[in-house]
Structure 1
Amino acid sequence: MAGKRMQIKKPYIAAIIAAAGSAARMNGLDKQFEEIDGVPVLVRSMLALSDSDWVDELVVVVRQRDIPDLYALIRAYAVPKVRSVVVGGETRQQSVRNGVAAVSEETQYIAVHDGARPFVTQQVIADTVLDGVRYAAAAAAVPVVDTIKLADADGKIISTPDRNRLFAVQTPQVFEIGSYREASEEAQKVGKDYTDDCQMLEAIGKPVYLSRGDSSNLKITTPADLIFAQAIAMELEERNGFQNRAWL
């Protein structure tokens, strides 16, 4: 994990919320618009990023058919800082690329966040931004708690990696915009399509550092995750004693 913080001047940061996925594992449910304690998943994600003092603007990437519904939600929940809503591509990498193309000219760093991670905390956002600015690339992550096995195509165990060096990567992931664009252009040129933005930077030799994530920063991927999310929402409300905008 990244270490001691340093004093920095706040740069201009655009958050890109990726919400154009097909939700293939949701059994027909549209996870971005499913409600957690009465509030859509995507709204929670947008409010968490927009409420951060580190984030200056939001670009939300969705499917074409979802644009009218998204604008309605932005108005209904008075989500601030939304610069634009853009149509996603066929893959996550293409969708984020579309989002990057829509940020303001003064943008110095981008914070890429999954629309399906509704419980990202202000602390995680701040920590990842600080590390991203310090190192030019950083991603929220948590230590892996299970023992991981590497197997071959037949399912036979090949090796057991050291768990102390394994981390589950979350979002936000924060990048200096010039480095990100360089990595994105190179990936497009060589025909590579990555499922994780960090991989693009790694592929061109740019180091990416891990910042402190949080176990509550759950990504909604399956219907069962919605049940866990409801429990998290209830716990957060009980813990805070009031309804914070980010949790509603």
Structure 2
Amino acid sequence: MAALYKKCAVLPCEGRSIALDTSAIIVCAGNATRMQGVNKILLPLGDTNVIGMSMRAFEACPSVAEIILVCRDCDRQEIEQTAERLGIQKLTAITIGGHTRQESVQNGLRKLSRSTEYVAIHDGARPLVKPEQIERTIHDARVFGGATLGAPVKDTIKAVSDGLITDTPPRHTLYLTQTPQVFRRRLYFEGVDFALEHGLDFTDDCQLVEAIGGKVYMTVGDYTNIKITTPEDAAIAQAILKQQEEQA
């Protein structure tokens, strides 16, 4: 694996400088319950597998200095082999996940380089995220302190209690929240400390920042950035990738 970055580098890009100041934590430590026991992150996809696609997207991002991967111990060896086959140079650490997603992310935080200014947290099971989407989200986080990739909902959403509709939120205010979710390091750590102090456990990293009154910008992405959760999702991801390759 590449050595940890000791200082923040700056790269030129289209007439402006891009800071190499972001650490990506890719989380893939789930137990695959909804995949009927199949390990979704190691499913074949394109010329590699699901986690390989995710790593490659962050490898291609000018702003990303390092990649930290959080996984199950039983998957570690195959993930390392995948990274080696793909020539992933930014992978600096692989660590083992916790009992919850929040614990898994915290394990990844312990591996951050000291020079890290922004943390990008990504679900390893979202393999079709595009490098340009990651870069836009990082840019927005630099402006607002936090940003998440997402897409407007297509359907009318109903709030339901005991089987009865209680509310119909205006559709134009609703977004499907995706990843990466990017935060200024200090702001995110404040959210983590708050959650630990109050015994809170969130499934969404934005909630950590929202809990301390922080603002998170919604960076608009697209509907191809799906999360592979069920066997049907894997088939959809293959179809999307094939269509993208045909259009390229």
Structure 2 length as normaliser, TM-score?
A: 0.91
Aligned to 2:179: 171
| Residue 216 (structure 2) pairs with residue 208 (structure 1) | yes
The percent identity for this pair of structures is 40
| Residue 144 (structure 2) pairs with residue 135 (structure 1) | yes
Aligned to 2:64: 55
RMSD (Å), alpha carbons: 1.2
Aligned to 2:235: 227
In 2, Cα distance between equivalents of 1:49 and 1:69: 19
AA aligned to 1:133 is R
The answer to whether the Cα contact below 8 Å between 1:111 and 1:175 also exists between their aligned partners in 2 is yes
| Partner-residue secondary structure (3-state), 2:42 | coil
| Partner-residue secondary structure (3-state), 1:10 | strand
Query: How far 1:185 sits from its partner (Å)?
Result: 1.2
The answer to whether the Cα contact below 8 Å between 2:120 and 2:182 also exists between their aligned partners in 1 is yes
1:1-248 equivalence runs, <5 A: 10=19, 12-152=21-161, 154-240=162-248
The answer to whether the Cα contact below 8 Å between 1:11 and 1:109 also exists between their aligned partners in 2 is no
The answer to whether the Cα contact below 8 Å between 2:22 and 2:118 also exists between their aligned partners in 1 is yes
AA aligned to 1:34 is L
In 2, Cα distance between equivalents of 1:78 and 1:17: 17
Aligned to 2:6: none
In 2, Cα distance between equivalents of 1:47 and 1:64: 21
In 1, Cα distance between equivalents of 2:205 and 2:34: 21
Q: Judging by fraction of residues, say which structure has more strand.
A: 2
AA aligned to 1:215 is Y
Post-superposition CA distance 1:76-133 (Å, at most 9, x none)? 2211200100111111111111111101000000111110001101221111010011
Query: How far 1:10 sits from its partner (Å)?
Result: 2.0
The answer to whether the Cα contact below 8 Å between 1:124 and 1:214 also exists between their aligned partners in 2 is no
| Partner-residue secondary structure (3-state), 2:105 | helix
Post-superposition CA distance 1:20-45 (Å, at most 9, x none)? 11121001110000112342100000
| Partner-residue secondary structure (3-state), 1:192 | coil
In 1, Cα distance between equivalents of 2:244 and 2:18: 32
Aligned to 1:244: none
Runs of 4+ in 1 over 3 A off after TM superposition: none
In 1, Cα distance between equivalents of 2:20 and 2:233: 35
AA aligned to 1:92 is R
In 2, Cα distance between equivalents of 1:132 and 1:11: 14
Q: Check 1:151–1:8 CA distance in 2 against 1; reply closer, same or farther (3 A cut).
A: farther
Structure 1 length as normaliser, TM-score?
A: 0.91
Aligned pairs, how many? 233
Query: How far 1:65 sits from its partner (Å)?
Result: 1.4
Structure 2: unaligned runs, 5 residues or longer: 1-15
In 1, Cα distance between equivalents of 2:73 and 2:181: 25
| Partner-residue secondary structure (3-state), 1:129 | helix
In 2, Cα distance between equivalents of 1:40 and 1:95: 21
AA aligned to 1:110 is V
In 2, Cα distance between equivalents of 1:44 and 1:140: 18
Structure 1: unaligned runs, 5 residues or longer: 1-6, 241-248
In 2, Cα distance between equivalents of 1:105 and 1:8: 21
- Could you tell which deviates more after superposition, 9-18 or 120-129? 9-18
Instruction: Specify which structure has the bigger relative contact order, considering alpha-carbon pairs within 8 angstroms and separated by 6 or more residues.
Output: 1
